[in-house]
Structure 1
Amino acid sequence: MRSPVCTTGRLLEAAQYVGHVTRPRRSCLSVPGSSERMLVKAKTLPADEIVIDLEDGVAPAHKDEAREATVAAVSEGGFQARSIAVRINGTDTPWFEDDVNELARRAGDALGTLIVPKVEAAAALAPVERLLERSEPAGGRESPVGLQALIETAAGLVHVNEIAAASSRLEALIVGYADLAASLGRPPGARHDPDRWAFTLDAVLVAARAAGLQAIDGPHLQIDDIDGLSAAAARARELGYDGKWALHPTQIEPLNEAFSPTEEELSRAEAIVEALERAEGGAGAGVALLDGEMLDEASRKLALAVLARAPDPR
């Protein structure tokens, strides 16, 4: 895998981001940027990714304050999570530009990605990219800021394939159930019937995989329903999803467990990568045979994705 590299003070090449880092996202805990107490607590939690919310989780009167608190928390570091993401305000809001500019310039390399809400078309990511291209050099970052796209409207679902291919910074597509249910005219609580969301989950997954992205399931809203959470996570994992959002710390461990590969799966993935490396180093072939199974570059990508979900990096 290629690692994105840039030189401080010059324009970052977002194209370097293609085929880049696969950040584990078995559990993605959302915390409001307006709560200093929750930001401090989030640093101690074992979620793969902490998602600091500047959008729905913050009242309009507190947007600027939440942004400042988020920049301070991320730049200070000290998170146990493997990656930090920030859900910014939408591109049609008065807070959008300040969100992107301040985070890119001041949050430092601890900021992994920006999550763009309510993405309805491929063109919706362009304003974010333009701001990042202008702001990143001033931040002295060693790697470009990645993006994640929330699919949470009917229009976004219709255009999900184009959205997935819209930016070389894009790392993941996320299903946003609450807003999507409202957009589709579904009553609250419709998430409990998995069949109602079968088309949505498949459409987002296929679009993500076709573009080489991760697919992340939305949150289970009933915080006290751990059995329901585990069942929903198991369904998402069986479909092929890489992880799921969490709304409470008690949801983290069940998600980490649900989306972690077994020891057998990890051993098999390591064997696949090693077999292909031996083949390339020997005859220079791009294919290999392992236990009677023909392996190629697609096999390697799947194996690396499995290894990236390991509880401990391999």
Structure 2
Amino acid sequence: MTRFDHPPPPRRSCLSVPASDHRKLSKAWTSGADELVWDLEDAVAPAHKDEARRAVLAALREAGRHGARIAIRVNAPRTKWCHRDLQELAASPVPPSSIVVPKVESAGDLAFVDRLLDGVRAEAGTNAPIGVQALIESASGVANLREIATATPRLESLILGYADLAASLGRSGATAGEPASWLAIQDAVLVAARTNELQAIDGPYLGVDTGSDFAAAVGHARDLGFDGKWAIHPRQVAAVNEAFSPTEEELDWAAAVLDALSGAGAVALDGQMLDEAVAVRARRLLARKVGARP
């Protein structure tokens, strides 16, 4: 599968912002998040969908001035708002960097998005890329991860959405908040992402605090191997960025590994045997450095 010429930059933190709340949209510019996700779906009441879409289109014109990377969470496929969201965003003179497609349950959901984006961008006379991110939020989405991950070359990441997925699986609120209870599904998302060179992004901690439970959820996702995590409040962004950023020592180690392995199949560095498996970890650490190209 041929993807865009340049892989997407790191997504340590993705701050979800209600598109219908002008105050929060304005405040988010200074959050420090790697990506702002303006939400047209769950955060917007049905009566305000059109108004929120217009607000997003207007705010996109400011993105360049603020230097922010913007993703738009559109309404789900099969809803009466999805096609209009995609048409107007794709036709915008300043389109978002990517579209977050919620409640993806099959490859067909992404194929629909892909064809519509292609058609609208062709009509607009531009081939500027718009990426796609798939939000996995149902039992069907988990069951079909393999086909979803290969549905379109636009696809940049798989995102795990806990609230809707907990409801789909019939999990209680208490269980839904336990990081360890999601291990099998988290691993499935990671395997699908790694197999297809996609980013794996953990869903938000279901609360706005930054206490020990939040820190445990962030650390759990980082240690499993996720590339980043969603946040639902600006105060969470700094902690997420720090958790998913490699330390200077890790970056030095990664650079030394790749330098030592240059032109060699297996060598030793500081008593550690190095091979391609170690090189993969080194490349992934360097890819997480902000400003680096994965």
TM-score, length basis structure 1: 0.85
**Which of 286, 301, 305 is the equivalent residue of 2:284?**
305
Given the alignment of the two structures, is residue 89 of structure 1 paired with residue 75 of structure 2, yes or no?
Answer: yes
* Counterparts of 1:31 and 1:189, CA distance in 2: 25
Report the 3-state secondary structure (helix = DSSP H, G, I; strand = E; otherwise coil) of the residue aligned with 1:89.
coil
On the 8 A contact 2:18/2:38 being kept in 1, the answer is yes
On the 8 A contact 2:257/2:274 being kept in 1, the answer is no
Given the alignment of the two structures, is residue 215 of structure 1 paired with residue 195 of structure 2, yes or no?
Answer: no
Deviation at 1:224, TM superposition (A): 1.9
User: Percent same amino acid among aligned pairs?
Assistant: 51
Q: Matches of residues 1-314 of structure 1 in structure 2 within 5 Å?
A: 15-17=2-4, 20-77=6-63, 78-81=65-68, 83-106=69-92, 108=94, 111-139=96-124, 141=126, 143-274=128-259, 279=263, 287=265, 289=267, 291=269, 293-296=273-276, 302-311=281-290, 313=292
What are the ranges of 5 or more consecutive residues in structure 1 without an aligned counterpart?
A: 1-13, 280-284
Deviation at 1:293, TM superposition (A): 4.1
* Counterparts of 1:198 and 1:131, CA distance in 2: 35
Deviation at 1:300, TM superposition (A): 5.6
Report the 3-state secondary structure (helix = DSSP H, G, I; strand = E; otherwise coil) of the residue aligned with 1:17.
coil
* Counterparts of 2:202 and 2:17, CA distance in 1: 17
Question: Given residue 24 of structure 1, which amino acid in structure 2 is its aligned partner?
Answer: P
Which one has more relative contact order, counting CA pairs under 8 Å at least 6 apart? 2
Distance 1:305 1:149, change over 3 A: same
Distance 1:228 1:309, change over 3 A: same
- Cα offsets for 1:135-169 (capped at 9, x unmatched): 12345656311111011101111111211121111
* Counterparts of 1:91 and 1:303, CA distance in 2: 38
Question: Given residue 284 of structure 2, which amino acid in structure 1 is its aligned partner?
Answer: A
What are the ranges of 5 or more consecutive residues in structure 2 without an aligned counterpart?
A: none
Aligned residues between the structures: 290
On the 8 A contact 1:121/1:155 being kept in 2, the answer is yes
* Counterparts of 1:230 and 1:80, CA distance in 2: 28
TM-score, length basis structure 2: 0.90
Deviation at 1:101, TM superposition (A): 1.3
Deviation at 1:304, TM superposition (A): 3.7
Distance 1:257 1:157, change over 3 A: same
On the 8 A contact 1:272/1:290 being kept in 2, the answer is no
Deviation at 1:275, TM superposition (A): 5.2
| Aligned-residue RMSD, C-alpha | 2.3
* Counterparts of 1:185 and 1:232, CA distance in 2: 21
